[in-house]
Amino acid sequence: MQWLKHFFRFYVKASIHVAFAVIAFLYLTTEFLNIFLDKNLLYFIFFGTIPAYNMIKYGVEGKKYLFRKNATQRSIQLVSLISLLISLYFGSFISFASWKGVFVLGILAGCYALPVFPKKRNLRNLGILKIIIVSLVWSGTTVVLPVIEAHIEISWDVWIELLQRFLIILVLMIPFEIRDLNYDPKELHTVPQRIGIRNTRIGGIFLCFLCFFMTFLKDDLSTIEIFNKTLIALSLAALMIFMPKEQSKYFSSFWVEAFPIFWVLFLWGSLSIIKVSL
């Protein structure tokens, strides 16, 4: 079973798991907004997430990422390169309007990883601003891009879904912020550093229920969406309450990032039950 452990480790380290999480969010958007999911956009985002996330994750020290002799790192580079080429292929079939959105999101992601301020500081070194940028990129990718590609207006319901997704990503980042508390320099001023772990958990719970109650502001609302948004809010609140301060190796990088995948599975199950009952 050693090969299975190596595969799992590579699956997480190469950001393939993150790519599936992004696609899960993309699917949730199309279901909650009742829009068509363009397959070219789906493959473009899935394969594009892998090199983009790997560059952000490992590219802070660019020379080490590009020229490292570590076999695992080279495999990640190869997967990233192949994924980039596949992503560009499918990207050639999406609309110019979507590419404009990708360009804006790419600038945000680049500012997060690359030095844009004096003394080589980037946005990932600016504490609270860091998680805001990450939430903007994830919510923009998984809500705005499919809406643009579906050629529909950014309506009131889209704005609500966008804001809800933004809040969900903020909450999902809290376990990572707490995990890194012992390693982050004090000058980063992350949320747990500023207000403490307990208040960070309380703030996360508040955001969970704020996100849930925003559901009822939508003009077009289905029972299935209320049911699933309830699950999302309760599961995130439970995460805030029960997540350990000292996390296991893959608690955040696998289990927390798997939350949107679990939500999609639950949504599929809900839809299947409704179809059977009809």
Instruction: Please tell me the CATH code under which domain 2-277 is placed.
Output: 1.10.600
Q: What is the pLDDT of residues 91-148, one digit of tens each?
A: 999 999 999 999 999 888 877 666 555 554 555 556 677 888 889 999 999 999 999 9
Hey, what are 207's tokens? 């955001």
Residue 110 burial (CB count, 10 A): 15
Instruction: Give DSSP secondary structure letters for 134-160.
Output: HHHHHHIIIIIHHHHHTT----HHHHH
**pLDDT surpasses 60 at 174:** yes
Residue 92's alpha-carbon distances to 20, 47, 95, 109, 225, in angstroms, are 21, 13, 8, 21, 33
Q: Which residue has the higher pLDDT, 249 or 260?
A: 260
**What are the beta bridge partners of residue 117?**
121
Q: What is the largest CA-CA distance in the chain?
A: 63
Q: What is the pLDDT of residues 15-50, one digit of tens each?
A: 999 999 999 999 999 999 999 999 999 999 999 999
Q: Does residue 191 contact residue 200 with C-beta atoms inside 8 Å?
A: yes
Phi, psi (rounded to 5 degrees) for 38: -70, 125
Q: What is the pLDDT of residues 75-91, one digit of tens each?
A: 888 999 999 999 999 99
Domain boundaries along the sequence of the chain: 2-277
How many angstroms separate the CA atoms of 145 and 239, rounded?
28
How many angstroms separate the CA atoms of 249 and 187, rounded?
25
What whole-number percentage of the chain has pLDDT above 90?
60
DSSP 114: S
Instruction: Give DSSP secondary structure letters for 162-202.
Output: HHHHHHHHHHHHHHHHHHTTTTS-GGG--HHHHHHHHHHHH
Residue 121's alpha-carbon distances to 132, 188, 262, in angstroms, are 16, 11, 36
Q: Residue with structure tokens 């992004």? A: 22
Q: Residue with structure tokens 């790192």? A: 73
